């Protein structure tokens, strides 16, 4: 098996989940983990040209430390056609526990990078009594949070990033599922949302820090007409 630099690439787009202890691995480390798993599976991954060749792998949206995901996307470029099913069958046994690929498809060279098509993420947040205060945030006109940038603290409003009406009512008061803006243009990190919750709804900080956050899915398109990324090329 050779891993050569080719001009043509065959991309496999896969969904992946990362749950439990594996969620405490940072995004960069997760990329290394994928790279090694693909190499162990002897899949013909492609490398970038230049002094410091890197495996050609694109993740839809960086995943924060401590956040589980059930539906993230990754594009992996191969130098020859490998059926997506076959690819996943080979790679999955090589991933560490808690990480798994599923629902992969073969796609032609994507015109737009995977990162640029993501607009929306759906999260599930689980913590004692969190549903109602989170819902109340949606009723606000404005939700100010402090953001540190270049050593200065600035106030920004995250209300526009919460996709109004997107909340799915749960019968469990400890669970809230919601849609927020995600991607390279507008993005709301769940930890920022939780700190806003503590600030504006006086939700308990310790409970917030222990909240189990799961990214359920990523979408393209414009809310509420969301599109499945799988088909978005």
Site of interaction with other proteins (CB under 8 A):
1-4, 20-22, 24-26, 28-30, 32-33, 35-40, 42, 47, 51-53, 65-66, 94-98, 206, 209-212
Q: What is the DSSP letter of 47?
A: B
Q: Which is nearer to other proteins, 49 or 171 (CB)?
A: 49
Query: Contact at 8 Å (CB) between 77 and 57?
Result: yes
Q: Which is nearer to other proteins, 36 or 140 (CB)?
A: 36
Closest approach, Cβ 210 to other proteins, in A, equals 5
Closest approach, Cβ 143 to other proteins, in A, equals 22
Closest approach, Cβ 131 to other proteins, in A, equals 19
Closest approach, Cβ 9 to other proteins, in A, equals 15
Using CA atoms, how far apart are residues 9 and 56, in angstroms rounded to an integer?
Answer: 10
Q: Which is nearer to other proteins, 44 or 220 (CB)?
A: 44
User: Which among 16, 224, 222, 221 has a CA at the least distance from the CA of 112?
Assistant: 221
Using CA atoms, how far apart are residues 10 and 81, in angstroms rounded to an integer?
Answer: 6
Using CA atoms, how far apart are residues 84 and 117, in angstroms rounded to an integer?
Answer: 21
Q: Which is nearer to other proteins, 2 or 149 (CB)?
A: 2
Using CA atoms, how far apart are residues 218 and 83, in angstroms rounded to an integer?
Answer: 23
Taken in order 196, 213, 85, 10, is the CA torsion positive or negative? positive
């Amino acid at each position: 098996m050779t891993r050569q630099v080719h001009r043509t690439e065959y991309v496999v787009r896969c969904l992946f989940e990362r749950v439990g202890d594996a969620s405490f691995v940072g995004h960069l480390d997760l990329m290394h983990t994928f790279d090694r798993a693909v190499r162990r599976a002897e899949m013909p991954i492609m490398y970038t040209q230049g002094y410091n060749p890197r495996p050609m792998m694109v993740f839809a949206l960086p995943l924060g430390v401590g956040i589980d995901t059930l539906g993230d996307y990754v594009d992996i470029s191969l130098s020859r056609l490998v059926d997506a099913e076959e690819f996943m069958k080979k790679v999955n046994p090589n991933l560490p526990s808690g990480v798994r690929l599923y629902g992969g498809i073969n796609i032609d060279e994507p015109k737009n990078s995977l990162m640029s098509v993501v607009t929306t993420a759906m999260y599930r947040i689980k913590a004692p009594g969190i549903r109602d205060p989170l819902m109340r945030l949606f009723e606000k006109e404005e939700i100010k949070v402090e953001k540190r940038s270049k050593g200065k603290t600035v106030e920004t409003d995250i209300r526009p990033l919460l996709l109004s009406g997107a909340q799915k009512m749960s019968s469990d008061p400890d669970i809230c599922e919601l849609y927020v803006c995600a991607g390279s243009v507008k993005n709301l990190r769940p930890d920022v949302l939780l700190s806003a919750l503590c600030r504006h709804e006086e939700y308990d900080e310790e409970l917030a820090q222990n909240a189990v956050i799961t990214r359920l899915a990523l979408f393209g398109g414009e809310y509420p007409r969301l599109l499945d990324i799988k088909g978005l090329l």
